[in-house]
Structure 1
Amino acid sequence: MSTTLETATAARSGKGARDENFPVASHLIHPRHRGAILSFYDFVRAGDDVADHTGLSPERKLELLDGLADALTGAGPADPEAAPLKAELAARGLPPLHALELLDAFRMDARKTRYADWDELIHYCRYSAMPVGRYVLDVHGEDPARVWAASDAICAALQIVNHLQDCGKDFRDLDRVYVPQDALERHGASVAMLGEAKATPQLRAVIRELAERTLTLLDAGAVLPDLIDDLRLSLEIAAIHRLAVVLCRGLLERDPLSEKVHHGKAAFALTALGGITSTLARRPFRGRTVRAQRAGARP
């Protein structure tokens, strides 16, 4: 089926910030920054909904994504999906780079449905996930040289956790497979196994391998809360990091095709609180961590 939609708004799925696996501008974030983050989220969600729309051709998806980009930069007509973020960027003197990079990821989604190896997947995350963390850090005025690398690791990990949790749904609904082909081949698994009601032992082995690699990314990013100047943002990221670690460990044991991997509300709150508490306990000693990071040593 092919449908002509005139604007990105018509492609909206209805999904919002509260439907995400991880907090989006929770009340830990200072009110003066929440609007900038939520406008970014809404713009990105509009682009993501275009890329995931099953009634649009790849060519039409690219046209709508280009329209969002032009509206954001002023190169084309205004768009209600871009206007709030455009205003926030202008007010803060920030460039549209991070949002435009996310649109590049959605263009990939419109044209690409398979990934050969881990490096290809990380390249996708460079555009689909890392700009999110970079934007939030820039909004808070954090030093990119100090925080971007750790943020990139966490953001890539969050993206891959989402991919693994949704691997069956992505395959069934979109014929999109983020699980690298070489990992499937190493364990004797196939793409078709993603369409089953329950993962085979071979596919479970693939998911465990990818979850272990993702835990390595989370380990690399664990230092980020201690590098951030803004306390409230530090606590938000600490909560997200802890939630991601728990989800990733869950993927080592549970089958995302047949079992729930997502947090329940109570577990979500307790896990996030654990991350916040441990970060607060370390806060008096963060100067040592920052100095070690500047010296290029592992804190």
Structure 2
Amino acid sequence: MSVDHYENFPVASVLMPRRLVPAVEAIYAFARSADDLADEGDATPEQRLAALAAYEQALDRIAAGGEAQSGLDPMFLRLAGVIAQYDLPLQPFRDLLSAFKQDVTVTRYASYGALLDYCARSANPVGLLMLSLYGQADEQNVRDSDAICSALQIINFLQDVAIDLQKERIYLPMEDLARFAVSPAALDHPGGTAKWRTLMKFEVARARALMLSGAPLAVRLRGRIGLELRMVVQGGLRILESIEEVEYDVFRRRPKLTRKDWMKVIWRGLRMKARMKRAMKSPSGAALPLE
């Protein structure tokens, strides 16, 4: 459920119950349009922040209800209806706006903790809202969903280092660059260097561990939501494999899933539940790999 341009937002998924499609479309419209305000076009930072502030004011009017919603833009009226119908919390929408505002002003992250804080607002809210639509937003599920969503966001950053550089953004933590002696000023094309490969090997391993820590949610949830989430998990893991296969040179060969990759993702997703059940029954208690 990566939220960077919402490429993986499940709005058109064949696995989603038709009854939920209008709700997901309303949430998608809010998230995508707000993301575009922060990222697209030639508006000044001040103009972007003002536009996002207007979105915050619209959320305040939705929260107030009644006459306060009179005259709202149709997009917000649809969103208000969905929020009321499914009793959705407003905080995830506010968190998304907070992350988008941060995109306007912040282009570097000093630490992994700071990056996770950003992911907690830019990615995790989408997972929480999806769980809420399905009536599955208990504490354990939300914790695992947060891990999956943050992992997906970080995987997207690893995949798009070159694209983000064109926007003058670096999402690799500065503390990691320093640890592996990779200079931010030399990120134009370090893909073939040993230091870069060592850095990216570390980042890929950490993202994979984060994804796997939340993966039990995809097995625990039943029905369509569980199946879809298993595909999401396997898609993220496959991107990490692709980064490894190009020897971490995401500058010349940006990893993306091909039709062949998707067939592999589907096969692994279908096998994932059985493999995890066998792992839990294993005498050693060791988890089997999900790839």
TM-score scaled to structure 2, two decimals? 0.84
> Residues 178-189 of structure 1 correspond to what in structure 2 (within 5 A)?
178-189=171-182
Whether 1:26 aligns to 2:13 is yes
1:257 to 251, 264, 267: 251
Equivalent residue, structure 2, for 1:202: 195
Whether 1:147 aligns to 2:141 is yes
Contact 2:11 2:21 survives alignment (8 Å): no
Contact 1:199 1:257 survives alignment (8 Å): no
Contact 1:113 1:178 survives alignment (8 Å): yes
Q: Tell me how far 1:23 sits from its aligned partner.
A: 4.7
Counterpart amino acid of 1:180? P
Distance 1:166 1:83, change over 3 A: farther
CA distance in 1, matches of 2:107, 2:170: 6
Contact 1:73 1:86 survives alignment (8 Å): no
Contact 1:46 1:81 survives alignment (8 Å): no
SS at match of 1:256: coil
54-63 or 197-206, larger mean C-alpha shift: 197-206
2:215 to 212, 215, 222: 222
Distance 1:182 1:72, change over 3 A: same
CA distance in 1, matches of 2:138, 2:171: 28
Distance 1:171 1:80, change over 3 A: farther
Contact 1:197 1:258 survives alignment (8 Å): no
1:57 to 14, 33, 44: 44
CA distance in 2, matches of 1:265, 1:91: 37
147-156 or 73-82, larger mean C-alpha shift: 73-82
Counterpart amino acid of 2:189? E
CA distance in 2, matches of 1:116, 1:150: 25
Equivalent residue, structure 1, for 2:65: none
> Residues 14-163 of structure 1 correspond to what in structure 2 (within 5 A)?
20-21=7-8, 23-74=10-61, 78-163=72-157
CA distance in 2, matches of 1:171, 1:181: 14
* 1:168-223 Cα distance to aligned partner (Å, 9 max, x none): 11111x21111111111111112233322845332222222111110110110110
Contact 1:25 1:37 survives alignment (8 Å): no
Contact 1:208 1:251 survives alignment (8 Å): no
SS at match of 2:187: helix
Q: Tell me how far 1:61 sits from its aligned partner.
A: 1.1
CA distance in 2, matches of 1:167, 1:79: 36
Equivalent residue, structure 2, for 1:271: 265
* 1:72-124 Cα distance to aligned partner (Å, 9 max, x none): 33268623443332221122222322111111100111111100011111010
TM-score scaled to structure 1, two decimals? 0.82
CA distance in 2, matches of 1:23, 1:209: 29
Counterpart amino acid of 1:35? P
Q: Tell me how far 1:266 sits from its aligned partner.
A: 3.2
Equivalent residue, structure 2, for 1:168: 162
Distance 1:190 1:34, change over 3 A: same
Counterpart amino acid of 1:216? A
Q: Tell me how far 1:144 sits from its aligned partner.
A: 1.8
SS at match of 1:188: coil
78-87 or 113-122, larger mean C-alpha shift: 78-87
Equivalent residue, structure 2, for 1:247: 239
CA distance in 2, matches of 1:136, 1:113: 29
C-alpha RMSD of the superposition: 2.6
Distance 1:25 1:237, change over 3 A: farther
Q: Tell me how far 1:135 sits from its aligned partner.
A: 0.6
CA distance in 2, matches of 1:100, 1:39: 15
2:230 to 238, 242, 258: 238
CA distance in 2, matches of 1:199, 1:86: 50
SS at match of 2:198: helix
Counterpart amino acid of 2:228? E
Q: What 5-or-longer segments of structure 2 have no aligned partner?
A: 62-67, 282-286
Contact 1:238 1:275 survives alignment (8 Å): yes
Q: Tell me how far 1:249 sits from its aligned partner.
A: 2.5
CA distance in 2, matches of 1:149, 1:61: 32
Contact 2:52 2:97 survives alignment (8 Å): yes
